[in-house]
Amino acid sequence: MRLIFSALLLLLVFNCDAQKTTAAKTDASLRRPKLVIGIMVDQMRWDFLYRYHDRYASNGGFKRMMNQGFNCENTFIPYAPTVTACGHTTVYTGSVPAIHGITGNAWWDYEKNRTVYCSEDKTVKTVGSTSAAGEMSPRNNFATTICDELRLATNFRNKVIGIAIKDRGGILPAGHSANAAYWYDGGTGNWITSTYYMNDLPQWVKNFNSKKVTDAFYEKGWNTLYPINTYTQSTKDENNYEAKAFGSDQKGFPYDLKRFTGKNYSAVSVTPYGNTMTMMMAKDAIAYEEMGKDSITDFLAVSFSSPDYVGHSFGPNSIEAEDTYLRLDKDLGELFDYLDKMVGKDQYLAFLTADHGVAHVPGFLTEHKLPGGAVDDNKLVSDLNTLLKEKYGKNGLVLSAYNYQISLNHDVIDSAKLDRSDIVKEVIRYAKNIKGIDRVFEIDELMEQPMQMDVKNRLANGWHPKRSGDIQLIFSPGWIDGGAVGTTHGLWNPYDSHIPLVWYGWGIKPGKTNQELYMTDIAATLAALLRIQMPNGCVGKPILSIVQ
C-alpha cells in the first residue's frame, strides 16, 4: 500500500511540474516587448550601411544594429513607383499600392477629377499653427497598418504615435487608430498635428515648440562633423550639378544658416539637424507619453525625413550626404541609449528600413562616363498638349505625368467624342522617341507586354484603377525625371528599390541573411513576433530566420 501511495504521490508531483512547465511555455509564447520602434530613413540606399561603415561609431546606431541585431541584406521594394508615401504605407500595411491605394505622393484621382495629395484631408483642421499644413489624416489609405492591428489586439489600451518632419512620414505608418501623429510645419517652425487626432497639442509638444530648436541649429551653421579632407567616399565639395539649397552664394561647406533664423524654418529639413530634431521629439514622446512603461506594447513610428531632402539636392555621392549619415548614426546611438535607460535593454524591439533609395545625379554619371540622364516630365506634358491640340483642337488632353504614368483628360475626350485609342497611339508615338524613355505602353496592356517578369509584376503591384494613369513610361537605367541639378527616385531599379532592413532588440538573435525578401514582409514579421493578426491588406510573409 505504501508503495502504491508513493507512486501516486510521485505521479502527482510530476503532473504538477508538467503543468507548471506547460504554463511557463504558454506564458512565454504570449510575451511581447514593452515598445516597438519602427525607424524609417527617408531615401536610404542599402549600400549606405557599408559605404560609410568604417566611419560609423561603434556605439552609434548602425553598427549597434548590425553587430547585435539581424541584417536582411537583400530586401527589395516589390512595386513601382518607389516614392515616400508608397514606401511608408507599404512597410506598415504589408501591402502594395494596388491594394492600399497610396499610389504616389500625389496622383490624378479620376473619382475626384483632380490631383490628390496622399495624406490630404479637408475635413480636418490644423492643430498647433494657423497654416493649412495640418489638414492631413490617414484616410486615403484603404488598409490597416500593423499599428492598427496592435491597437485592436490590445483592445486600444496601448499607445501608437507617429513622428516625422514630413506629414506623410508620420501619418501613414501610425495608421487610422493612432493616438497621435506629429509632423513639422516649415512655415512656423512648430510641430503640429490635426483634429483627426486631437483638438489641442499636449503640453510637452507645446514646450518643445517654445524652445525654437530650429533657430538654435541655425546659429551653429552646418560644417562637416570631421575634417573635410577625410570624406574620401564622396565627390569634391562643389559641383555644378548640385542644387544650391541655401542660396546661390553658398556653394559648399561651411554653410551659413544664421540668415534663416526667425525667417525660414523649412531650410532645417535640408540639413542633418532635421534628423536631430526628430530624434529629440521621439525621446520626448517616449518620456512624456510614458511609452514602454507597462506590459501593454506601445508602438513609436519614427521617420527621418532629412536624408531625402539632402539627397535630392546634393545626390548620394556628395559630402553633404555622407555627413548626414555620419550624424544620423550618432542620433540613432543616442536614441538607443535613451531607450535602454527609459524602457530597458532588450525590452524594446526596433527595426530600421527605408521607403526608397535614390539614383545618382545625372551630371555625376556623365562626369564618370556612366549611362544616365534626365527626362523633363513637365516639358513632356506641355509638348504633348501642344501636339494633341494641333491635331484634335482641344486644350489639356494630358492632365499629368505623375508616377511615370500619363493621365489623359477623360472628360474632354468623352464630351468632344474624340477617339481615345487614337490619342493613346499619338502619345506613345511621341514619347517613345524621347531619349531616356525605354518603353511606353497603355497600362491596360501591361500583362501582354513582352518584358522582364519582375519589372512587370512591380508595375502591376503599383497600379490602382482609380488612382493611376493611362499610359506607362519606363525609363532606361540611370535615367530620372528632373532637370540639370539634383536627383530623385521612383523606379524599379536596384538603386531605388534595394533597401536596408535591420532588426534589433527584444527577441532578435544576431545574424544575417541574403535571402531575397520584400518590404511587404516587415509587417507580416512584426505580426508573427507580436502574435497578432496581419494588417487586412497584407501580402507579405513572415521572415522565418527571425521568427523561428
Question: Which one, of 515, 541, 546, 542, lies nearest residue 74 by Cα?
Answer: 515
Question: Which one, of 273, 277, 352, 267, lies nearest residue 313 by Cα?
Answer: 267
Sheet strands side by side (includes 398-400): 398-400, 405-408, 471-475, 437-442
Distance CA 488, CA 361 (A): 8
∠ CA 257-263-269, rounded to 5°: 55
Distance CA 423, CA 449 (A): 19
Is 271 designated active site? no
Is the separation of the CB atoms in 183 and 127 below 8 Å? Answer: no
Is the separation of the CB atoms in 168 and 84 below 8 Å? Answer: yes
Chain position carrying cell 547585435:
68
Distance of CA 93 to the CA centre of its chain: 12
DSSP characters over 30-88: T---SEEEEEEETT--TTHHHHTGGGS-TTSSHHHHHHHSEEETTEE--SS---HHHHH
Q: How far is CA 87 from CA 41, 146, 350, 490, in A?
A: 11, 14, 18, 10
∠ CA 137-274-168, rounded to 5°: 15
Q: How far is CA 17 from CA 26, 29, 30, in A?
A: 14, 18, 20
Q: How far is CA 20 from CA 16, 17, 26, 30, 176, in A?
A: 6, 5, 10, 15, 40
Residues contacting residue 311 through CB under 8 Å, at least 6 positions apart:
43, 321, 358, 487
Q: Which of 75, 84, 103, 224 is catalytic?
A: 84
Is the separation of the CB atoms in 333 and 66 below 8 Å? Answer: no
R_g (Cα) of the chain, nearest Å: 25
Distance CA 188, CA 506 (A): 38
CB atoms within 10 A of CB 129: 17
Residues annotated as part of the active site: 84
